A and B are shown apart, each in its own frame.
Chain A
Amino acid sequence: MSILVDKNTRLIVQGVTGNEGLFHTTQMVAYGTNVVGGVTPGKGGEWVLDGKLPVFDSVKMAKAATDANATVIFVPARFAPDAMFEAADAGIPLVICITEGVPVQDMMRVRNYLDQKKIRLIGPNCPGLLTPGEAKVGIIPGDIAISGNVGVVSRSGTLTYEVLYAMKNLGMGASTCVGIGGDPINGTNFLDVLEMFEHDPKTEKVIMIGEIGGSEEEKAAQYIAEKMTKPVAAFIAGQTAPAGKRMGHAGAIIEGGAGTAADKIKALEAAGVKVAKHPEEIPTLF
């Protein structure tokens, strides 16, 4: 068991013929992910990966031909909202959007529309999902993680890799790693993923990687205190970040004294979570 993706996932790739899309599709297939097709409008009928993967003009056509149940989006920011709407209208129940830089107002419309259709969105501006040994959906390098019983959830991309790599070096494996993305308006938050890990029999412990800005970590702390039976260790990035400056992620900004690392660490520690001083320390906290 794992959460969200496994060897039964039938994945399509939106933006499969683009530079990034093709590179990472190759990596996903090499990892053993069950990629069943790709979508690029205007390139339907072509094949990629040496004729092994069919390309379709629309998500609807791809779904009809492949019975896909998940899609990963690699299209540029200006086309990403449309790609998410299209996936939702084609009835794909799990949408993972890797694209960074999607405008906030677009994301509000996308999120409200997908919620109405009860579609699970991961991202945008996220590294995707990795269930080691079964499926890699997105851009997390496959060789930095091994299979195990630790659920990992993170707002960051490369910082997540850092933690997976440190875990692997200690012989600690992940059940599933979920990158929820660094944008202020995203599809799935910490709380959703913690709930999934709490109910996943394979997951015995959880690592949570947060950062400054917003209040999702505080909400997660409340859930951990009230509902969670599995141990949680955490790291919060941005302890030295100055207030009022946007630290790359649109969500990573300390506004009017709220959303600081100190506040989040305090809330997590009060909920019984062990908080690491640096990322490589996290796996040693259990």
Chain B
Amino acid sequence: MKLHEYQSKTIFSKYGIPIPKGRVAATAQEARQIAEELGGRVVIKSQVLVGGRGKAGGVKLAKDSAEAEQLATQILGMEIKGLPVRKVLVDEASAIDKEIYFAITDDRAAKKPVMIASAAGGVDIEEVAATTPEKIIKIHIDPLLGLREYQARDVAVAMDLPREYWKDFVKIAMGLWEVYRNTDATLAEINPLVITKDKKMIALDGKMMIDDNALFRQPSLNEMRDTDEDAPSEIEARKYGLSFIKLDGNIGCMVNGAGLAMTSMDVIKLFGGEPANFLDVGGGAGSEKVAAAMRIILSDPNVKAVLFNIFGGITRCDEVARGILVAMDEVKPKVPMVVRLVGTNAEEGRKLLENANMITAETLADAAKKAVAAAKEGK
């Protein structure tokens, strides 16, 4: 789950990381009011969950509150990479002397958290990483020991940060480690971390990603979820603990297991069809979950056929079959359905579906071919 800049910075601030004064606004009038309170120059920053906001014109400097209102009106009417801007952050403007990149994230290959820093921070950090990787400093953190202050100092030294800033930097690094650790972040990033002309270190921008698997112990973060970028069907699926992604094709897929679900999509495509979605009902799915999954698939008007590919392991085929029957009774689907049940309790499952008027298949290739043919007929 991604957090907005304003949400990330609010969290940073709670952990002692200095941030600019400012607040979030949903209307231009609010933006004007915040600018008046702050006085002086302000920055109006669009709050959308994509990168490259500045380059898309979603970050602007205003000299006073009147201009703040005008720019906020403009930005609040924008779409950035397809996402409508619904909120802007109004921050006091800083006089910047130097921009640093600093982040803590998971290094999956090393199985450890890693600090990533560069004295060449700012909007072109990806460019720096690609062209001059020697300017990127990486120091791993032992997940059992946590970040130690000397490691943060090592980063400061490696960046050639003047000594007068070491203390501030170490405090910010330790704060960001606590943020990362306590919020179950997979990314906690400050870019840029600026040194102002009056020699203060401030987190000017912030970005966080939270591990979805840890949200059960992060209730306050879960409430921050912005669902604007998700399709309604994806939001509905999340409620039932289903892993669902909407795609553009016309063959709905219900599969157990992520690998098999991806493979079923691949095989549909291999035989000339287009999957309408990725859907993993998960391990040990009960009939209620299966019924919800089916409702979600059939709510897509593009769907001309549905493929059920269930290979029972922890999931029991008879449970899935019961779910299919419940959903069919309720939704009364008009599109053809191809079902393939193999593995745990497959016999019982097949028996339950005997009278359900479904096309049956033995192998995955066979099931995919039949679904592709059924979708073509249904057009």
Contact = CB atoms under 8 A, between A and B. Distances in A.
B260 A158 contact: yes
Contact of A240 (B216, B266, B315): B266
B82 to A, nearest CB: 13
Given A108-B143, A240-B269, A214 B108 contact: yes
Contacts of A22: none
A157 B257 contact: yes
26 contacts: A20-B314, A27-B344, A104-B213, A105-B113, A105-B181, A106-B214, A109-B144, A141-B312, A154-B259, A158-B256, A158-B315, A158-B343, A159-B259, A159-B263, A162-B260, A165-B342, A214-B108, A237-B266, A238-B263, A239-B269, A245-B278, A247-B261, A249-B258, A249-B259, A278-B270, A279-B364
Interface string B260-285: 11110111011000010010101110
Interface residues of A, number: 62
B261 A248 contact: yes
Interface in A138-192: 139-141, 144, 154-162, 165-166, 182, 184-185
B95 interface: no
Nearest to A256: B126
Nearest to A102: B213
B142 interface: yes
Contacts of A280: 363-365
A102 B213 CA distance: 6
B112 interface: yes
A196 B260 CA distance: 26
Interface of A: 20, 24, 27, 77-78, 98, 100-109, 111-113, 127, 139-141, 144, 154-162, 165-166, 182, 184-185, 209, 211-212, 214-215, 235, 237-242, 245-252, 277-280
A247 B262 contact: yes
Interface residues of B, number: 52
Residue in A101, A108, A113, A241 whose Cβ sees the most chain B Cβ within 10 Å: A108
B84 to A, nearest CB: 19
Chain B contact residues: helix, strand, loop or mixed: mixed
Chain A contact residues: helix, strand, loop or mixed: loop
A140 B143 contact: no
Nearest to A141: B343
Nearest to A161: B311
B216 to A, nearest CB: 6
Interface string B169-189: 000000000000100101000
Contact of B262 (A27, A78, A252): A252
Residue in B113, B212, B267, B283 whose Cβ sees the most chain A Cβ within 10 Å: B283
Contacts of B83: none
B217 A78 contact: yes
Nearest to A185: B111
A252 B343 CA distance: 24
A278 B365 CA distance: 8
Contact of B245 (A78, A106, A166, A247): A247
